[in-house]
Amino acid sequence: MARKSYQEKLEELREDVLYMSEVVMERLRMGLSALEQKDTELADEVMEGDSEVNELYLELEQDCIELLALQQPVASDLRFIASTFKIITDLERIGDLAVNLGEYTHDAEHDRFPDVDIQAMGELTLEMVEDAMIAYDTEDTDGCRELAERDDDIDQFAERASGIVVRDLIERELDSPEEVERILQDVSRLLLTIRDLERVGDHAVNIAARTLYMVENDDELIY
C-alpha cells in the first residue's frame, strides 16, 4: 500500500472513531433522559441500540488489525493505532453503561432521593467524554491533562451522593418489611447509577490518557 493511501486510512480510522463516540454519547444522553423522565420506551431504545455500538466496535477493531498488518507502521502511527484500539474499547464500555441506565429506568417509579442530582452528575461525565474526544481529534495534550484533573470532581460528587443516600437510609423510619425491601431496592439502584456514571468519567480519563500517549509517547496518565 502506498504511504499516502495508508495515511488516508489512518485519517479515516480517526473519523470513524469520532463517529462512534457521537453514537455512544447520544446513547448516554438518551439513558439519562429516560431515567429522569421515567420513560421506559426511550429506555428500551437505548438498550436496543447497544447492538449498533457493538457492531461499530467490531468494525473498528478489524480496521485496527488490518492497518497493523498492511505495513510496518512507524512509531507514531503504531501509537495512534494502538491507542485508538484502546479508546474504542472505552467507548464500547460507556455504551454498556448507558444500557444500564435504560435497565434502571424500568424499576425507577419515583425519585426517593431528590437531593441526589443524577442529571447533574450525568452532564459532568458527558462533558468529560466529549472533551476527551475533542482532545483525541485535535491532539490536545494540555486538554488531556486538564481532563484527568477533573476526574476528582466526579469522584467527590459520587462520594457526596452516596453519603446522602446512606444518611437518609439511617435516619428514615421504616414501618414494615415490605417498605424496607422497596427502599433497599431503590438505594441499590441509585448507588449503581452513581457508580456507573463515575465509571463513565473513568473511561473519559482513559481516553485522555491514551491520547496523551499517542501524541507525546507519554504514559503519565496511564499508570
Taking phi over 0 as left and psi of -120 to 50 as alpha, with beta for the rest, 139 belongs to left
Determine the Cα–Cα distance for residues 24 and 50; give it in Å rounded to an integer: 9
Nearest to 131 by CA among 188, 74, 211, 70: 211
Q: What's the pLDDT band for 31 if we cut at 50, 70, 90?
A: very high
Instruction: Give CA separation, 183 vs 37, 137, 189, 207, in Å.
Output: 20, 44, 10, 36
Long-range contacts of the stretch 82-86 (C-beta < 8 A, 24+)? 82/214, 83/210, 83/211, 83/213, 83/214, 84/13, 84/14, 84/17, 84/60, 84/210, 84/214, 85/61, 86/206, 86/210
Nearest to 99 by CA among 42, 56, 61: 42
Kindly state the cell numbers that stand for 162. Answer: 452516596
Q: What's the pLDDT band for 167 if we cut at 50, 70, 90?
A: confident
Average pLDDT (66-91) is 92
Average pLDDT (145-162) is 91
Residue 32 has pLDDT above 60, yes or no: yes
Average pLDDT (2-16) is 85
Q: What is the share, in percent, of the chain residues with pLDDT greater than 90?
A: 70
Q: What pLDDT was estimated at residue 180?
A: 72
Which one is predicted more confidently, 147 or 187? 147
Q: What pLDDT was estimated at residue 128?
A: 97
Q: What pLDDT was estimated at residue 1?
A: 47
Residue ranges of domains in the chain, CATH in brackets: 6-216 (1.20.58.220)
Nearest to 208 by CA among 153, 158, 142: 142
Taking phi over 0 as left and psi of -120 to 50 as alpha, with beta for the rest, 116 belongs to beta
Residue 2 has pLDDT above 60, yes or no: no
Q: pLDDT of 89-142, one tens digit each? A: 999 999 999 999 999 998 876 667 778 899 999 999 999 999 999 999 999 999
Q: What pLDDT was estimated at residue 70?
A: 78
Please state, rounded to an integer, the average pLDDT across all residues of the chain: 90
Q: What pLDDT was estimated at residue 110?
A: 64
Average pLDDT (20-33) is 97
Instruction: Yes or no: say if 90 and 141 are a contact pair by the CB < 8 Å rule.
Output: no
Query: How many Cα atoms within 13 Å fall on the side-chain side of residue 96?
Result: 11
